[in-house]
């Protein structure tokens, strides 16, 4: 049964993210009495896309081989190790440059962009590495 449920991992993760977003929005609503519909719609769109992708993947898969095994998991771990170290190195260099240039304030929106970009690139990279 566990093997049968494994092929729905992507959908399960997407639903978890949606639940997390709803939880976060609820907390913000109770504290600040603000509700941002665009965040919910974005999460819902992502969930639908991932679910449809999972369904297509499950229907198209003809063999009984697993999606990941010991080698692909090792490759992904290695990738995450290198990418996180490179990210910290690049951040350090950026911090040195900004300190040298005398920049004393950085808008948090730029920091968010950097973090989200890292998450996207590391996610896509790990997916590519797991398929090799």
Min CB(63)–other proteins separation in Å? 6
| Residue 130: burial class (beta carbons within 10 Å; 0-12, 13-18, 19+) | middle
Please report whether residue 65 would count as binding other proteins according to CB under 8 A.
yes
Q: For the CB of residue 76, give the shortest distance to other proteins in the complex, in Å.
A: 13
List the one residue from 68, 84, 98, 99 that touches other proteins (CB under 8 A): 68
The stretch near other proteins (CB under 8 A) out of 16-24, 57-65, 78-86, 103-111 is 57-65
Q: Does 2 bind other proteins (CB under 8 A)?
A: no
Q: How far is the CB of 124 from other proteins (least distance, A)?
A: 19
* Residue in the structure block whose two tokens are 């290695």: 78
4: nearest Cα among 60, 57, 52, 66? 66
What is the SS3 assignment for 40? helix
Nearest approach in angstroms of CB 120 to other proteins is 25
**Tokens 């190195």 identify what position?**
89
């Amino acid at each position: 049964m566990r093997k049968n449920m494994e092929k729905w991992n992507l959908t399960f993760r997407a639903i978890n993210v949606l639940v997390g977003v709803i939880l976060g929005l609820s907390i913000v609503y109770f504290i600040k009495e603000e509700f941002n519909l665009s965040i919910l719609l974005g999460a819902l769109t992502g969930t639908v896309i991932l679910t449809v992708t999972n369904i297509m993947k499950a229907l198209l898969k003809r063999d009984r081989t697993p999606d990941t095994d010991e080698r692909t998991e090792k490759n992904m771990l290695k990738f995450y190790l290198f990418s996180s170290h490179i990210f910290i190195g690049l951040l350090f260099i950026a911090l040195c440059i900004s300190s040298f240039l005398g920049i004393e304030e950085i808008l948090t929106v730029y920091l968010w962009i950097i973090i989200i970009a890292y998450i996207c690139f590391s996610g896509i990279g790990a997916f590519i590495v797991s398929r090799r």
